[in-house]
Structure 1
Amino acid sequence: MSEVLLQVDGLKKYFPITGGVLGKKIGEVKAVDNISFFIKKGETLGLVGESGCGKSTTGRMLMRLIEPTEGNVVFQGKNITGLKDGEMRKLRKDMQMVFQDPFASLNPRHTVERILEEPLIVHGVGTAKERKQKVKEMLEVVGLSSYHAKRYPHQFSGGQRQRIGIARALMTKPKLIIADEPVSALDVSIQSQVLNLLADLQKEFQLTYLFIAHDLGVVKHISDRVGVMYLGRLIEITTAERLYEHPLHPYTKGLLAAVPVPDPTVRKEQALLTGDMPSPSNPPLGCAFHTRCKECMEVCESIRPELVEIEPGHYAACHLYTEAAKNL
């Protein structure tokens, strides 16, 4: 896992706010505000945070489904932010996405065979006979049967539809899969099955994952490293083991405290989050989390902390660990 497959530098996405009869720009929503990270070949990076923090927007920008306002995305050593549509379409053979709602992302008018065959047709892979054989093989790989190929999406359960979505993503033999909340729409009993399937497929096909979720309990079981987002910015990133054992940022501590533990005798630290996330169109000055932070200091209200390495391999954006706070 020494080779960096994906490098993100200074990525931003600002959505304009318009008003009036002429639709004049009156402000902007900073959905993603200057984030940087990397994913090594063969690893899984989990990206977590509350709804509205910008994690799904980040995933879509990496695929160029949403155009970034600023920043660079380097995939396999190539900057893809400036690629034309045709070039980007070819590149998507190596970058695929698994969406949150499998029913919404599958064409209800097409059979499973047509849905899985379509990526191969778009990229001109194989003959018609070879494509149909590939469909049958991939259905078996994700735990379905070849006879399912003639059925339609509405004839499957939510877990089965997500398996079809995963199979579609694997059809072109991608190197990177961006999984956007792939289990949040599923029953808890089915979530573990899909997570185990993703882990098995990663080993079998040497896949690299960006796993986007809001549930730290889910992310723990599949991620090598975890990045925590708040109001469009990365505020902490380290190995999954380190994050769960020794979180640094107060927001991360609050998220972990909210994860339920199936043992009534365990007493957890009371660090539950209070209040609501501020609006991305009008973020607070200084640290965006200071309005909800129990450890807020004066410096937090005026100076925004940068993401810096606090411990070896453990980065956090918090004045509890910065020189700016120590010098006050």
Structure 2
Amino acid sequence: MSEVLLKVDNLKKYFPITGGVLGRKVGEVKAVDDVSFFVKKGETLGLVGESGCGKSTTGRVLMRLLEPTEGTVEFEGQDLTKLKAEEMRRMRKEIQMVFQDPFASLNPRHTVEKILEEPLIVHGVKDKEERKRRVREMLEVVGLNSYHAKRYPHQFSGGQRQRIGIARALMTKPKLIIADEPVSALDVSIQSQVLNLLEDLQKEFQLTYIFIAHDLGVVKHISDRVGVMYLGRLVEITEADKLYENPLHPYTKALLASIPIPDPDLQQEKELLKGDLPSPANPPLGCAFHTRCSACMEVCKTTRPELVEIEPGHFAACHLYNK
């Protein structure tokens, strides 16, 4: 667990806003704004936050499905941002992605066998029988039967389709899997089955996960460390137990307070979020959270706090902890 597999430094992804007849640039959406973190081999790093905070964009930039505006992404010491298209295509054998909507990410015109064979064909497995054997094996690994290979995506339930999506990601034997909201489109009863499957696969194949979600209960179940994002920035990151027991950033505290507790007699003092998420095209000056923060000070309105280590292994970007 001590070796760093992925290291992200000062990652930015800005989308241009164009206007007028000539389509000139009139602004930009700062979807990911100066994000830095690392992932150790064998661990699961959870990325959480409200919709629009930039967590899914971060996952896509790491895969180079979107090109970064600035920053570096080092995988096993190699900077992915400097790789040419063909080099990056080969690197994707080591880094795979599981998407939120399994129906949208699976080609409806292809059988499951063809969907799972495709990564092997792309990465040079020419023996047809070998490909079919590996497809059958992988289907059984994710809890499906080999006869499912001849069926089409629409013939499966949502949970089964997500298992197919996970199987596709595993076909190239990757080291890192980026899971983008992999259970949010599933029923609660099915979510736990898929989460347990992901944990079993991690042990069996020595996988490393970046698990992107908005449900803090799900993230707590699967993550070793958790990073909290707000408006394109990382505002807190630490071990999962520490985050849930002693959150430091006001935004994290508000998110945790919003988790429902199944006890009608329990009276909670909730620090609920006020107002709407500001536009990433026009983020507030200073701390991005100050417009909704009950602990806002004057310095928060003008100076952006840096992500610093407040306690051993516990980082937060908040002026409340400035010494």
Give the alignment's TM-score, normalised by structure 2: 0.99
Q: Paired residue for 1:275?
A: 275
Measured after TM superposition, the shift of residue 273 of structure 1 is 1.1
State the alpha-carbon separation in 1 of the partners of residues 239 and 265 from structure 2. Answer: 28
- Structure 1: which amino acid aligns with 2:129? K
State the alpha-carbon separation in 2 of the partners of residues 199 and 25 from structure 1. Answer: 45
State the alpha-carbon separation in 2 of the partners of residues 241 and 32 from structure 1. Answer: 26
Q: Paired residue for 2:181?
A: 181
Q: Paired residue for 1:161?
A: 161
Q: Are residue 63 (structure 1) and residue 63 (structure 2) matched?
A: yes
- Structure 2: which amino acid aligns with 1:118? E
State the alpha-carbon separation in 2 of the partners of residues 90 and 284 from structure 1. Answer: 40
Measured after TM superposition, the shift of residue 303 of structure 1 is 0.7
Q: Are residue 241 (structure 1) and residue 241 (structure 2) matched?
A: yes
Q: Identical aligned pairs, as a percentage?
A: 82
- Structure 2: which amino acid aligns with 1:41? K
Question: Which structure 2 residues correspond to residues 156-305 of structure 1 after superposition, within 5 A?
Answer: 156-305=156-305
Measured after TM superposition, the shift of residue 70 of structure 1 is 0.2
Structure 2 counterpart SS, 1:199: helix
State the alpha-carbon separation in 2 of the partners of residues 244 and 126 from structure 1. Answer: 48
Question: Which structure 2 residues correspond to residues 57-136 of structure 1 after superposition, within 5 A?
Answer: 57-136=57-136
Question: Which structure 2 residues correspond to residues 29-44 of structure 1 after superposition, within 5 A?
Answer: 29-44=29-44
Structure 1 spans left out of the alignment, 5+ residues? 324-328
Measured after TM superposition, the shift of residue 275 of structure 1 is 1.1
- Structure 2: which amino acid aligns with 1:20? G
- Structure 2: which amino acid aligns with 1:6? L
Q: Paired residue for 1:24?
A: 24
State the alpha-carbon separation in 2 of the partners of residues 118 and 263 from structure 1. Answer: 48
- Structure 2: which amino acid aligns with 1:199? E
State the alpha-carbon separation in 1 of the partners of residues 20 and 177 from structure 2. Answer: 41
Structure 1 counterpart SS, 2:315: strand
State the alpha-carbon separation in 1 of the partners of residues 269 and 48 from structure 2. Answer: 20
Per-residue CA distance 1:130-181 (angstroms, 9 max, x = gap): 1101101100000000010000000000000000000000000000000000
State the alpha-carbon separation in 2 of the partners of residues 267 and 166 from structure 1. Answer: 40
- Structure 1: which amino acid aligns with 2:279? S
Structure 1 counterpart SS, 2:81: coil
State the alpha-carbon separation in 2 of the partners of residues 162 and 204 from structure 1. Answer: 19
Question: Which structure 2 residues correspond to residues 313-324 of structure 1 after superposition, within 5 A?
Answer: 313-323=313-323
State the alpha-carbon separation in 2 of the partners of residues 305 and 146 from structure 1. Answer: 53
Equivalenced residues, count: 323
Q: Paired residue for 1:326?
A: none
State the alpha-carbon separation in 2 of the partners of residues 267 and 288 from structure 1. Answer: 31
- Structure 1: which amino acid aligns with 2:280? P
Measured after TM superposition, the shift of residue 214 of structure 1 is 0.6
Measured after TM superposition, the shift of residue 261 of structure 1 is 1.2
Measured after TM superposition, the shift of residue 266 of structure 1 is 2.6
Structure 2 counterpart SS, 1:174: coil
State the alpha-carbon separation in 2 of the partners of residues 8 and 35 from structure 1. Answer: 7
Measured after TM superposition, the shift of residue 268 of structure 1 is 2.6
* Superposition RMSD in Å: 0.7
State the alpha-carbon separation in 1 of the partners of residues 88 and 172 from structure 2. Answer: 15
Measured after TM superposition, the shift of residue 264 of structure 1 is 1.9
State the alpha-carbon separation in 2 of the partners of residues 257 and 190 from structure 1. Answer: 25
Q: Is the 8 A contact 2:258 2:270 kept in 1?
A: no
Give the alignment's TM-score, normalised by structure 1: 0.98
Measured after TM superposition, the shift of residue 270 of structure 1 is 1.1
State the alpha-carbon separation in 2 of the partners of residues 137 and 227 from structure 1. Answer: 35
- Structure 1: which amino acid aligns with 2:56? S
State the alpha-carbon separation in 2 of the partners of residues 267 and 319 from structure 1. Answer: 30
State the alpha-carbon separation in 2 of the partners of residues 2 and 139 from structure 1. Answer: 32
Single out whichever of 258-267 and 20-29 deviates more from structure 2. 258-267
Single out whichever of 38-47 and 124-133 deviates more from structure 2. 124-133
Structure 1 counterpart SS, 2:309: strand
Single out whichever of 265-274 and 35-44 deviates more from structure 2. 265-274
